């Protein structure tokens, strides 16, 4: 099953590798909204997200020969978009993670189960209200499905920092949601 997922849209990808513009456009049509949303969740600014997604598609099509089906094309493309988005934030010198008091919060599971958070729209609103650093880590872990090793790679932090930051971010999110 996993193999089938990796080879999703294989024929389109293969034709795109040869430079076939129609196939490239079809791939673009399939993924552009998802990638745009990924970028918007990180950047929050329409124009920035558009630039990042455009650059990501251009890079992806130009370097398609390097894509060896180790993941699905979508996952590969999403990684490009996320990396570019994170780099964009780094260039703008926006803090990706709040580094204060991050060492000792691995067990901050308190109150999580009590959260009145089953209204997903409140959750969405709560995520948008999070400080930028927390928002990135919640996005990466909960929405993009990254594990802490991957997050540590992308953000340039240790795995333990990623874990502790995630727990703090989640706690903060619950607080925000409960306050809505």
54 binds another protein (CB under 8 A): yes
Among 26, 117, 129, 159, binds another protein (CB under 8 A): 117
Q: Does 178 bind another protein (CB under 8 A)?
A: no
Minimum gap (Å) between residue 45 Cβ and another protein: 11
Decide whether 66 or 93 has the Cβ nearer to another protein.
66
Write a three-state SS string for the chain: CHHHHHCCCHHHHHHHHCCCHHHHHHHHHHHHHHHHHHHHHHHCCHHHHHHHHHHHHHHHHHCHHHCCCCCCHHHHHHHHHHHHHHHHHHHCCCCCCCCCCCCCCCCCCCCHHHCCCCCHHHHHHHHHHCCHHHHHHHHHHHHCCCCHHHHHHHHCCCHHHHHHHHHHHHHHHHHHHHHC
Q: Tell me which of 13, 77, 89, 123 binds another protein, using CB under 8 A.
A: 123
Quick one: 7 or 21, whose CB is closer to another protein?
Answer: 21
Contact residues toward another protein (CB under 8 A) are: 21, 24-25, 28-29, 32-37, 40-41, 46, 49-50, 53-54, 57-58, 61-62, 109, 112-113, 115, 117-118, 120-121, 123-124, 127, 142-143, 145, 170, 174
């Amino acid at each position: 099953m996993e193999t089938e997922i990796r080879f999703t849209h294989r024929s389109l990808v293969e034709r795109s590798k040869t430079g076939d513009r129609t196939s490239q456009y079809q791939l673009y049509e399939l993924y552009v909204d998802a990638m745009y949303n990924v970028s918007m969740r990180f950047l929050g600014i329409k124009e920035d997200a558009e630039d990042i997604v455009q650059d990501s598609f251009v890079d992806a099509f130009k370097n398609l020969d390097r894509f060896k089906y180790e993941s699905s094309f979508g996952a590969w493309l999403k990684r490009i978009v996320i990396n570019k988005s994170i780099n964009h934030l780094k260039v703008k010198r926006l803090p990706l993670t709040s580094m204060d008091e991050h060492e000792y919060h691995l067990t901050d599971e308190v109150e999580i189960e009590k959260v009145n958070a089953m209204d997903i729209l409140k959750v969405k609103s709560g995520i948008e209200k999070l400080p930028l650093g927390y928002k990135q880590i919640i996005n990466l872990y909960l929405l993009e499905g990254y594990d802490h090793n991957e997050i540590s790679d992308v953000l340039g932090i240790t795995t333990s920092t990623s874990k502790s930051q995630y727990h703090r971010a989640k706690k903060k999110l619950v607080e925000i949601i409960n306050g809505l």
